[in-house]
Structures are given as structure tokens and as C-alpha cells.
Amino acid sequence: MAEKILLIIHETPDGDTLAAATVLSKVLKKMGKSPAMVCKDLIPKPFLFLPEVSEIHHDLLFGDYDLLAVIDCGDIKRTGFADRLKKFSKTKSKTIINIDHHPKNDLHKIAHLNLVDYEASSTSEIVYELCQKMNADLDKNLATALLTGIYTDTGGFKHSNTSDKTLRIAGELLRSGGKIKTITENISLNKTVPALKLWGLALKRMHRHPKLGIVSSVITREDLTNCGATDDDLAGVVNLINTVPDAKAAILFHETQDKKIRASLRTESDSVDVSRLANIFGGGGHKRAAGFTIDGYLKTTDNVWQIVLN
């Protein structure tokens, strides 16, 4: 039986992957195991209130662990450790568990066990059920964390992936002491002046394609500097521009620190699958939320924005 367990959090971590991983880490510790967490990227400020976040490493030796659990990763590339995961999967006596709610992807091929539910609103919802199976005691901090994962992946229970089961689980978490006020204060209501200035730019540049019905906007590195904002301040922008009533999908293009362009895609349309578009550009995600990254930069000429490939 595995004793040393490594929990892998995906790149550009969101509330769901962080909540699911930190709760699992705490539960495993209570069981007498020795878990650790790793994420290639920095943790966004809105999620620093989650339990055990300070214990997340940015790199570790995979060979030191008996079992790897990949949390909420739409594909192996998004882990940030693709090559090392593939190597680990070929090592005898080592195990990989894939815990996720995204459509079937290349992680399924190397994982020894796939704990996946495509109907779940979030991986946090799956982890809640796993905790129930393990008779884990969820205190108010762990309940708040899991509620955070569900809250963020359902857009505050506004997205169509919010099922009656999702609301039932949310209710159970509230009864366990989960604090919705703590979540909204840190995530929904925690907007600085620089962040609001940045959001204003994104709204000012919104463009709706007349035929495709896709609403898009762009943010450059220069915009962040001029507004005094950070990458964390971009969280939620794509969800906001996705609220246009007749839009079939929304895309936010923004330049990253490593001189690339990150595209975040959202939709509420039953007839649109944004993960298919993301897959074309080497990205991934699920039907209603996806993303991809390309090498390039944003350029404007006469108020017309273009992507220039490197």
C-alpha cells in the first residue's frame, strides 16, 4: 500500500485543482500517509486562503514517491511534467491515479487508475464523494475548500454544469461548516483598483464576430504594467465577457510572462464545445471551459487586433 503520495496540481492553477489537492493532502495526513503537493506555477493570490497552500512545491523528485495522483488535469501536457509522468508510469511498483472530470484524454492511457466522472461539475465534487467513501472527517476549513472548488468551476453556481447533485453536495458542505462568505470575499469581491482598470480595458476592446457569434477581447503585458495589475487580476475576465446574451462563446487572449499568448475559452451554449477548438491549437479542457497557448504576441493597427506568431 502506498505511503508516500505526490499530488500534482495543473499549470495556471484554478480553484478546483487547488481545492481538490489541498483537501486530499489533509485527509491523507489524517490517515497517517505522507503526501506532498507540486505545481509548476505560482498560486494565484485569491486562493492563498485555502488550507495547506503554503506547502505546495514547484518541483520535487517524482522517484521519491510510491503513488502519483494527477488532480483535475485536462491532458498530460497541462501537468507541466509530461515527460516525467510518462517515465514514472513505466516504473514497476509505481502507480498513477487520474482524478478528473474532463473528457477522456492522454492521461487515461498512462494512468493505472482513472477516477473520472464526466458528469461532475468539478474535481472537487469527485473528491467530496471520495472523502465520503473513506469516511473522512471534513472540518469547516476542508468543507470551505471543497466548496471553493465547486463554486469556481460552476461560476458561482451560474453555469449549466450546476446539477441538483452539485447543489446537494454544496448544501452538505455548508452544513459541515463551509463558509460561502469567505469564498466570495477572496474570489468574487476581492477586486483591486488595478484589476478593475484592467477589466475596463478588456470590456472596452470587446468584439463580437457577426457570423460566428463569438465575443473576444485582448490584454497585453503593457496593459498590465500601465494598470499596475498582475496576471492574477485576469481571473474572471473571460467569464464576464461570456455574459453577452446572444454570444455562442467567449475568448480572452492575453500575453503571458514568457512571451506567449494564452487563450481562455468559455461557453454556455449546449451546441458549442470549446474544448474542440482548444484541441486544434494543442490545448484542452472540457465542453464549456477550455484554453490553449501559442507562441506569439498581440499587435494592433487602426484598432484592429492581430496575433503575430513567433
Question: What pLDDT, in 10s, does the model give residues 152-190?
Answer: 999 899 888 899 999 999 999 999 999 999 999 999 888
Q: Which three cell numbers stand for residue 240?
A: 464576464
Closest Cα partner for 280 from 268, 272, 290, 269?
290
Half-sphere exposure in the Cβ direction for 207 (13 Å, CA): 14
Q: What is the mean pLDDT of residues 281-307?
A: 88
**Neighbouring residues of 113: CB distance < 8 A, sequence distance ≥ 6:** 95, 96, 97, 98
Q: Which three cell numbers stand for residue 262?
A: 494564452
Q: Is 200 in contact with 240 (CB distance < 8 Å)?
A: no
Q: What is the mean pLDDT of residues 128-150?
A: 96
Neighbours of 93 (CB within 10 A): 6
Region of poorest pLDDT, from 94-98, 200-204, 264-268, 287-291? 287-291
CA atoms of 47 and 242, how far apart (whole Å): 23
Cα 56 from chain centre = 16
Please, which pLDDT band fits residue 302 given cuts at 50, 70 and 90? Answer: confident
Q: Is the pLDDT of residue 145 over 90?
A: yes
CA atoms of 8 and 2, how far apart (whole Å): 16
Question: What pLDDT, in 10s, does the model give residues 220-244?
Answer: 999 999 999 999 899 889 989 999 9
Domains of the chain: 4-186 (3.90.1640.10), 193-309 (3.10.310.30)
Region of poorest pLDDT, from 88-92, 103-107, 138-142? 103-107
Question: Counting beta carbons within 10 angstroms of the beta carbon of residue 40, is it exposed (0 to 12), middle (13 to 18) or buried (19 or more)?
Answer: middle
DSSP state of 255: E
Does the reported pTM lie above 0.75? yes
DSSP state of 33: -
User: Average model confidence (pLDDT) for the chain?
Assistant: 93
Question: Counting beta carbons within 10 angstroms of the beta carbon of residue 150, is it exposed (0 to 12), middle (13 to 18) or buried (19 or more)?
Answer: buried
Q: Give SS3 for 203.
A: helix
Q: What is the mean pLDDT of residues 58-69?
A: 95
Region of poorest pLDDT, from 12-21, 115-124, 274-283? 274-283
In the beta sheet, which residues pair with residue 255? 261
CA atoms of 257 and 220, how far apart (whole Å): 10
Q: What is the mean pLDDT of residues 48-73?
A: 95
Question: Counting beta carbons within 10 angstroms of the beta carbon of residue 101, is it exposed (0 to 12), middle (13 to 18) or buried (19 or more)?
Answer: buried
Own/partner pairs, 196-204, CB within 8 angstroms, 24+ separation = 197/227, 197/228, 197/229, 198/223, 198/224, 198/227, 198/229, 198/233, 198/234, 198/237, 199/233, 199/237, 199/240, 201/227, 202/237, 202/240, 202/241, 202/252, 203/240, 203/241
Q: pLDDT: is 93 or 151 the higher one?
A: 151
Q: What is the mean pLDDT of residues 56-63?
A: 96
Neighbours of 59 (CB within 10 A): 11
Closest Cα partner for 255 from 293, 229, 283?
293
Q: For the chain, what percent of residues have pLDDT higher than 70?
A: 100
CA atoms of 195 and 25, how far apart (whole Å): 32
CA atoms of 27 and 173, how far apart (whole Å): 15
Q: Is the pLDDT of residue 1 over 80?
A: no
